Structures are given as structure tokens and as C-alpha cells.
Chains A and B, each alone.
Chain A
């Protein structure tokens, strides 16, 4: 049943978030908060080298330190064969994942785990790390993407041969994969153009910057049953990966979701859990491992750094005739950058008759990249959305008109294949034109830029259970850790279906033994897919409630109507009985057939793609190169905002991270290939005082495949900011920045060059 277009009582309102009180009072249990009787502490020994062969590991001294209960190295893990897995929004390989959790043979980046200890206190574990001696043969290393692609670059993997090129290469390379797809006739498209523009844009790796470091506790019982408590974006993922990496039956692992302090994609894979499990297995004690912030920076995340080359051809009136992009993405130490989605996102917003997209997935001596909010899309759009702005300027067309002229609409065949249906991109452009921000006056030294962004959003496997309590309240359990407000949105959808106030529905995140399989929290899928499962489960409960009322009245269930949380006799029986409330039916449920509940497992299809357009005003300090964000408006098609305040928060959060990416954030390496800024004193994420209030406009073009019309909303908003800021800087100061971050020294250097 669809609720689109219906008069709704709960969906679309802004109730207090159900997880809020625990979080602001410090009662919420995050990854590091779990303790168990007999628990000991694990710590990880990490490589100080960017690239080195491990010749020998001496663990004897560490093991003889009083209090040390176990030491593990790669020898304690099975050496598993290559096998691809789909990890949220990226492809990864179990062999690589195993070697990322614990280096085998070689270390591939500064911070790569090479051994681990468990001891009776963190201080002893720390001291034991110093007693582990490792003999390395230091190897030449390579940090940057184009350097890694060079013929004579140091090779990370002797077994890596470039996929996607003909003939099959005979020599190994750091280029893991080449992707290409084309639409139409690109050469003809460029011949047809009145104007061609060709530019190159670069970006550095940036970290997801979640406030909670990775943390877990693992325990192994004498009979082999394992328990893992951890902060992740998917405890079913934790269960599956740990089982695979350690050779344990899935049924012998129970994974418990901790409250999660941010993930943004960076917690869609495991780092600590397999190590803690190996230590627990060896020591016979529960083992807790908590990363320091330095470890988070050196060994988890980040997003890919990239080089993006863009060529666009257009008629004088701005109509695009052809486009070509080449995307070179850093994967980090193992293959699997998000260059695939980057390629698909590059031109997804435009109706482009002829296009060619080529992507390279390149390994280098940095931590393996992890998903980060719309993985791959910000890199591609940084190039394409900047280049479109440069084209608009050269053609003398305003950048909004240029986008309106070329916007993808229903029926447009996207360069990467699909034909768009029910999309709201043009609606976001119309909202820009109508917004007072678009025409507000600007002062001297100020400028305004716009840029758009796209993300697919996904559906997938989800389970939800709705239980009615004897007092007529409801519990809804799902298998998704709540990183973006899913407990609120799911409780609201269930309350809407049941016809009761949302305060009477409690949403929880159930562990892997307590709910059906649920794919991880990622791809902006939870409110869509798990929300769909919960809605349908609630609908089944309503059917059951009607049956029970019918039984109590001794009439046919078809003659019962459910309205506002009450059963009413309908049809010929209308008015024959007093209506029965949910509470009254629940109270008597033992007499009418037992407890009332429904669980549903689905593979949700039909996620609606998301489009957004942002307006950004900046002021450039010509003497220092500092860029100040004066005003920012994020406009996005959200399908249907279940809890609008949460949706606005998603937009604001994405914009904030995008602005950090634009202006300041970057991984900085020293001459030895070591990360130079692994902490928030040196890695510069924006804070509230750096930014103005970020205004949002929620455009609602419903997704017909979701009962309430919802689309994923969390990822699109990080896509436009880098280009929106650069485009604003150009209009404020007359300089075009094509390298991220646009930090003050870089902006000043560009200003000096343009003045000179």
C-alpha cells in the first residue's frame, strides 16, 4: 500500500529524536564502553615504514612480560585466497582485507598492522608493543596516484595485473583496473561543438573524521562460540567478515551493535574485530581494542585522492555536445578505490549525447581507502562541476542556465546506462532560481558559486520485526546500526501505519541472532529499504489486529476498518460495535490467538536516485588567501522527508564535510612516506564557528517505489561543495583553483600569480 499523497499524521513531523537523551547525558554505550568479566586489553603494533618486507618478527620478549596473555601476527590468521566481496558501496577482496587487518609478508603503508598483543592492562599492552622487534627490509615507496601509475614506480603487489586492458598485460602494475564506457560518438560530438574546454583537477585524500574511534570487544567461549561487540555500520558485516577471515562458522559468531559515533562509510569494513577475536581465541579471555585518533588517521579510511581530467564541448548556446573524463583514483594499499561509482556519477546529472568516461584504480603506499559519503562522487564532480563553471564563463552564460539547458530529466538516458525515471534534478535547479539567495546582493570581494551533485542510493536486504506489547505500545527491531536517525524515521513510519503516536513506538537495533539478515548501513539505504520492511511488517500487524477485532466481534475480518489506531466495524456492521483500540486488542490477545507481531525480510528494489544543487557565497581575503563561507544553501530532492529535521541535518552535515574537503582537509606525508598530520590539531576539519548556518530546501519528488516516497538523502550533500566553493572563489577573486584543498597559502599563491 502506498502512503504517497495521503494525509499523514506522523511522517513529515519533527518529534524529539529517540536516541537523543542517552547521547546528551552520556548514557549511550559506544564501542569503547563495553566491558566483560576477565576482559583484557589489546593493542596493535604498526609499521613505521611506507613499504617494507617483513623479514622476521620477534615476539618472545613481549610474551615474557608479566601480564601479557597473547601475541598474534599474520601467522595466527589463515592465509586466505582471493575472493571478491561487495562491501556496501565498494568492491573489496577478502585476501586484501585479511592482509589489511594484519600485514603478511610486506607492510604497505605507515600504520599498517603487523602484530598485536593482549595484556591485563592497556599500559602493559603498550609496553609489550615496544618489546616486539621486527626486522624490515625497507623498500622504495610511492604515495601519489600519477607517480604510482608511472612505468618505473615501485610495485606494491607482484601479483597485480591491470584488469580491463587488452591485450592482457604481462607485467605487474600498480594500476589495478581500467574502466571505460562510452555513449554515442564522442569524436563527432566534439566536432559538432563550437567551444571545447579541457582542464585538470586534483584532490587529496581526506578522512571521514567520525568522532568515535574504532572500538570492539571480542570473546571466544570454550565451545568456540564467539561474541563481538563493536561500533560498526553493520554487525552482520562484522559477523560475515570475521567468520571468513578466521575460518569460523557464521552461526558461531554473534555480533552486537554498539551505539555508533559516526561512520560516514568508514565503518563499513573491519579493522580491529578479527584481531581482537584472534587474541581472544589465543588468550582465552575477552579482549578489548580501542584505536587512538592517530591510529584512526594512519590506518582507517580515508577517501581517495584523485586526478580528474575533464573535456567538454558545447554549442554557443551552452548545449553540451560531448564530454570526456579521465579519473585516476588512489585505492591505497589494496585495489578498490571508488573509481567505478566515480565514473558513473561524473555525467549522471546531464543529458549528454556523446561521452566517454575512463577510470583507473591505482594502489599506492597509503592506508586502503574506505567508503566516504557518496564514495567517488565528490572527486568526479569536483572536476565536472568546476569545468562546467569554467565553460559557462567562457560562453558568457550564467551557470544556472547552463545546467538548466543540459539537465537530465525523466526519460534521459544517462551516460552510464539507466534511463532516468521520477528524478528531481530539474526541480532543484528551479528551486535555486526561485530562492532569494540566488539573487541576493553581494559586497566587494565576495562571490557566489553553484554546483550540483548526484548519488545513486541503494536498496538491498533488510529485516524488520514489529511487536505489539500488551498495553498497545509497539517495538520495532531492525538490523541496521543507526548512524543517521533511522530509529526515528523507522519508528515514525511504523507509528503512521499503526495509527498511534510515535512516542508509543520504540525502535531498537537488534543483534545478528535476534533479527533476520540485514545488509549494512550504507548507500543511504536504511530509511528506504529497512523502512520499507518495517512499514510492511507494520501493515501485517494491522491485518492481524483487524482479524483479532473481527474475532472479538464475531464478524468477518474484511468487515473491519483500521483508523487512527482503532478497529471500526465497517460495511453492514458499521456502528454495530464500539471501536476497539490497539491497547484493548493487545490486552486480550492471549484469548484471540496469542502475541501479535510480524517479521519481514526483503530485498528492497527501486531506490530513488538523489540530486542536489548548492549555492555558496564566499569572501576572499586577498592579503592572506583565507576564504570565508558567508552563506550556503543546499537544495535537494529528498523524495519525502520522513523526519525533516534529520534530513536537514544530513544536508548540513554533508555540506560541512564538503567544505572541509574544499578548504582545508588533506593527508600530508613527509619525505619518508609517513603521515605528518594524524590528529585534529593538525588535520583541519571545520567546526561550527567556521561556518554560517547552512540553509536547506527540501524538494519532494516522491519515489514511487517506497511506501512513503522516501529517497536516500545522506550522501548527495557532500558532492557539490568543493566545486560550489571554487566557483564562488572565482567570482569573488578572479582566480580559478583546480587543486584541493583551497587552503590560504594555495589561494594566496594563485592570487599572486594572477596579479603578477
Chain B
């Protein structure tokens, strides 16, 4: 780890002030990715701005037919939230299977989404549920938010404050975890709304993506059978030491069918 200045401001204005003043400053939420990166000296920020003291960034509330989750809400809080369990049980279940207990007690939804790790679980939920990302500057819809591997539509001085999810009629997330890290080798989130079905895939490609063919087929007939012949092209999928693109393409089909079946 290199040296850096540590800040723990009490409000977002203060965060903005430090960010404006220090070009190489970095924001830390749960630190589940950043701290290991620092430890391995893969990053060298001048300043670290800890959002942990800003209480307005935490908490889960219902706003009409939506659930709004503060950016600094930890995975374990989403997992155990009665509001989430009632409104979007698939999201609570997803949160309960991220990493391990230590990760779930430190990691936050805002940190996960801002980092946009290709194998993280939350991006699949945000994209499939058609959620929106509230920031210090605006509200960004899920589709334009996730732009590429570890890339989002956030500008350098913009901070996520909350994520807003519409409640679906039914939803389910199925992932095939890496046996070591528990990151998704392939994870599929299926959400059914009165006028649409959305399917988002994480872990399989450099960035979370939707599967329009599956969405169309499921909109016509919401059953696992309806998508059994849809093949995900291997081109563009990841090959690494854990799985080939071919295996991932296969898993996407399997996880999608299981997610549809799990919607009941």
C-alpha cells in the first residue's frame, strides 16, 4: 500500500469539496475491491474519501411502487430488509449470496454498482429490474449506466446516492458461482413486469448485458420452455482460467431457464 490522506466527511458537500481540490482522490464505500487493489499497489490515490459517516446515504425505503436503497447500504442489510424481502425477494436473495459473510457485512450496493465488476451480482439486478441510479447530479437509467468493463456513465466528480428499483410481478436470480471467489461465472436475473420481461446477464461478458431474444420470447410465453432453444453466441463472452466462453454461453441458457422457473 502507498501513502494517502484519509478523510471521513460528514456530508456530501464536503466530499465534493475534497474531490474538487484533489485530483487523485478516490472514494471508498465498503472497500471490498479498492482495499485489496491498494494492498497490491495497483492504485496510488493521493486521498481516500470514506463515505461511511454520511448517514443520508444509508437505508432502505419504499416510495410508491419502488424500493429505494441508499448507496452505502450494506449487502447484509438488503438481504435482511423486510421491505426488500416483501417487495423484491429476488434482490434480497441476491444480496444474501454475494461473496462471503465478511464481504456482505462490509460491501455496499453503491460501491458494487460504481465499480461495475464484470462478475458482480448487483449490476444484473439493476439492469434486469430496470432500476435507476440516483447521483449527486442526476438520475441515470440502468441501460445507459453500465457502459463497459469497470466503466459506468458516472463522471469523475459524481457520487451515487441511491438506487431505485421498480417492484416486478416476479423476479429471480440464478448464478453459477466461481467456487473460490463466489463471483458469478454466469448469473442471470429475470424480471417480469406487466408490460415487459427483462433478462440481464452478469459474469459471462466484460459488462452486464440484456438478452433481447429471451425477453421477447418470455414476453410471448413466460416459461423456461420458451427460451430453451435460444443460444447465446460465444463471441464476446469471457474465456479465463475458470471457464471458456463456450461453457459460459451454455451456463447463461441454463441459469436463465432456472431463473424463469424460479419466478413461479
Cβ of A421 < 8 Å from any Cβ of B? no
Task: Tell me the residues in window 103-134 of chain A with beta carbons closer than 8 Å to chain B beta carbons.
Answer: 126
B220: shortest Cβ distance to chain A, in Å? 24
Report B169-213 CB contacts with A as 1/0, cut-off 8 Å: 000000010111100000000000000000000000000000000
Partner of A668, one of B179, B241, B254: B241
Complex Cα–Cα for A690 and B41 (A): 32
Complex Cα–Cα for A11 and B180 (A): 39
Task: Tell me the residues in window 26-74 of chain B with beta carbons closer than 8 Å to chain A beta carbons.
Answer: 41
* A745/B241 in contact, CB under 8 A: no
Counting chain B CB atoms within 10 Å of each CB, which of A623, A683, A686 scores highest? A623
* B254/A677 in contact, CB under 8 A: no
* B250/A664 in contact, CB under 8 A: no
* B241/A677 in contact, CB under 8 A: yes
A205: shortest Cβ distance to chain B, in Å? 15
* B242/A682 in contact, CB under 8 A: yes
* B254/A624 in contact, CB under 8 A: yes
* A684/B254 in contact, CB under 8 A: no
* A684/B244 in contact, CB under 8 A: no
Cβ of A211 < 8 Å from any Cβ of B? no
Complex Cα–Cα for A126 and B181 (A): 27
B1: shortest Cβ distance to chain A, in Å? 8
Report A611-623 CB contacts with B as 1/0, cut-off 8 Å: 0000000000001
| Chain B residues with CB below 8 A from A664, complex form | 179-180
Complex Cα–Cα for A685 and B179 (A): 8
Complex Cα–Cα for A681 and B185 (A): 13
* B179/A684 in contact, CB under 8 A: yes
* B181/A681 in contact, CB under 8 A: yes
| Chain B residues with CB below 8 A from A745, complex form | 243-244, 247
* B243/A684 in contact, CB under 8 A: no
Report A682-716 CB contacts with B as 1/0, cut-off 8 Å: 11111100100000000000000000000000000
Q: Which chain A residue shows the least CB distance to B250?
A: A748
Given contacts A623-B254, A624-B176, A690-B179, are A682 and B241 in contact (CB under 8 A)? yes
| Chain A residues with CB below 8 A from B254, complex form | 623-624
Cβ of B92 < 8 Å from any Cβ of A? no
Cβ of A676 < 8 Å from any Cβ of B? yes
| Chain A residues with CB below 8 A from B250, complex form | 748
| Chain A residues with CB below 8 A from B181, complex form | 681-682
Q: Which chain A residue shows the least CB distance to B181?
A: A681
Q: Which chain A residue shows the least CB distance to B186?
A: A624
Number of interface residues of B (CB under 8 A): 15
Cβ of A680 < 8 Å from any Cβ of B? yes
Complex Cα–Cα for A690 and B180 (A): 10
Complex Cα–Cα for A438 and B141 (A): 56
Given contacts A626-B176, A681-B180, A682-B181, are A676 and B241 in contact (CB under 8 A)? yes
Report A193-224 CB contacts with B as 1/0, cut-off 8 Å: 00000000000000000000000000000000
Complex Cα–Cα for A676 and B240 (A): 10
| Chain A residues with CB below 8 A from B176, complex form | 624, 626, 744
| Chain B residues with CB below 8 A from A686, complex form | 179
Complex Cα–Cα for A677 and B241 (A): 8
| Chain B residues with CB below 8 A from A681, complex form | 180-181
| Chain A residues with CB below 8 A from B241, complex form | 668, 676-677, 682
* B180/A680 in contact, CB under 8 A: yes
Cβ of B251 < 8 Å from any Cβ of A? yes
Partner of B247, one of A685, A687, A748: A748
| Chain B residues with CB below 8 A from A663, complex form | 179
Complex Cα–Cα for A748 and B243 (A): 12
Partner of B180, one of A624, A676, A685, A744: A685
Task: Tell me the residues in window 616-648 of chain A with beta carbons closer than 8 Å to chain B beta carbons.
Answer: 623-624, 626
Given contacts A668-B241, A676-B241, A745-B243, are A684 and B180 in contact (CB under 8 A)? yes
| Chain A residues with CB below 8 A from B247, complex form | 744-745, 748
Complex Cα–Cα for A206 and B57 (A): 44
Interface size class of A (residues with CB under 8 A): 20 to 34
A623: shortest Cβ distance to chain B, in Å? 5
A249: shortest Cβ distance to chain B, in Å? 41
Complex Cα–Cα for A683 and B254 (A): 25
Counting chain B CB atoms within 10 Å of each CB, which of A626, A668, A744, A748 scores highest? A744
Task: Tell me the residues in window 647-680 of chain A with beta carbons closer than 8 Å to chain B beta carbons.
Answer: 663-664, 668, 676-677, 680
Q: Which chain A residue shows the least CB distance to B247?
A: A745
A721: shortest Cβ distance to chain B, in Å? 16
Report B86-118 CB contacts with A as 1/0, cut-off 8 Å: 000000000000001000000000000000000
Complex Cα–Cα for A664 and B180 (A): 9
A426: shortest Cβ distance to chain B, in Å? 37
B128: shortest Cβ distance to chain A, in Å? 21
B229: shortest Cβ distance to chain A, in Å? 15
* A682/B251 in contact, CB under 8 A: no
Complex Cα–Cα for A744 and B255 (A): 14
Q: Which chain A residue shows the least CB distance to B41?
A: A126
B31: shortest Cβ distance to chain A, in Å? 16
Q: Which chain B residue shows the least CB distance to A676?
A: B241
Complex Cα–Cα for A41 and B41 (A): 18
Report A61-77 CB contacts with B as 1/0, cut-off 8 Å: 00000000000000000
| Chain B residues with CB below 8 A from A676, complex form | 241
| Chain A residues with CB below 8 A from B244, complex form | 745
| Chain A residues with CB below 8 A from B243, complex form | 745
A458: shortest Cβ distance to chain B, in Å? 34
A724: shortest Cβ distance to chain B, in Å? 19
Complex Cα–Cα for A684 and B177 (A): 12
Q: Which chain B residue shows the least CB distance to A689?
A: B100
Task: Tell me the residues in window 241-260 of chain B with beta carbons closer than 8 Å to chain A beta carbons.
Answer: 241-244, 247, 250-251, 254
Complex Cα–Cα for A668 and B176 (A): 21
B219: shortest Cβ distance to chain A, in Å? 24
B261: shortest Cβ distance to chain A, in Å? 12
Complex Cα–Cα for A538 and B206 (A): 66
Given contacts A668-B241, A676-B241, A677-B241, are A624 and B251 in contact (CB under 8 A)? yes
Q: Which chain B residue shows the least CB distance to A623?
A: B254
Complex Cα–Cα for A676 and B239 (A): 14
Q: Which chain A residue shows the least CB distance to B243?
A: A745
B5: shortest Cβ distance to chain A, in Å? 17
Q: Which chain B residue shows the least CB distance to A621?
A: B254
Complex Cα–Cα for A126 and B2 (A): 11
| Chain A residues with CB below 8 A from B251, complex form | 624
Complex Cα–Cα for A675 and B173 (A): 33
| Chain B residues with CB below 8 A from A687, complex form | 100
A677: shortest Cβ distance to chain B, in Å? 6
Complex Cα–Cα for A690 and B181 (A): 12
Given contacts A676-B241, A745-B244, are A682 and B179 in contact (CB under 8 A)? no
Q: Which chain A residue shows the least CB distance to B244?
A: A745
Complex Cα–Cα for A623 and B186 (A): 13
Complex Cα–Cα for A356 and B12 (A): 76
Complex Cα–Cα for A743 and B178 (A): 11
Q: Which chain B residue shows the least CB distance to A686?
A: B179
Q: Which chain A residue shows the least CB distance to B178?
A: A684
A751: shortest Cβ distance to chain B, in Å? 11
Complex Cα–Cα for A206 and B247 (A): 24
Q: Which chain B residue shows the least CB distance to A663?
A: B179
| Chain B residues with CB below 8 A from A624, complex form | 176, 251, 254
Complex Cα–Cα for A626 and B174 (A): 14
Seen from chain A, the residues whose Cβ lies within 8 Å of a Cβ on chain B are 126, 623-624, 626, 663-664, 668, 676-677, 680-687, 690, 743-745, 748
Going nearest first, the 5 A-B pairs with the smallest beta carbon separation are A684-B180, A681-B181, A684-B179, A623-B254, A745-B247
Q: A126-B41, A681-B180, A748-B247 are in contact. List 18 more A-B contacts (CB 8 A).
A: A623-B254, A624-B176, A624-B254, A626-B176, A663-B179, A664-B179, A677-B241, A680-B180, A682-B181, A682-B242, A683-B180, A684-B178, A684-B179, A685-B180, A686-B179, A743-B179, A745-B244, A748-B250
List 20 A-B pairs, Cβ < 8 Å: A623-B254, A624-B254, A626-B176, A663-B179, A668-B241, A676-B241, A677-B241, A680-B180, A682-B180, A682-B181, A682-B241, A682-B242, A684-B180, A686-B179, A687-B100, A743-B179, A744-B247, A745-B244, A748-B247, A748-B250
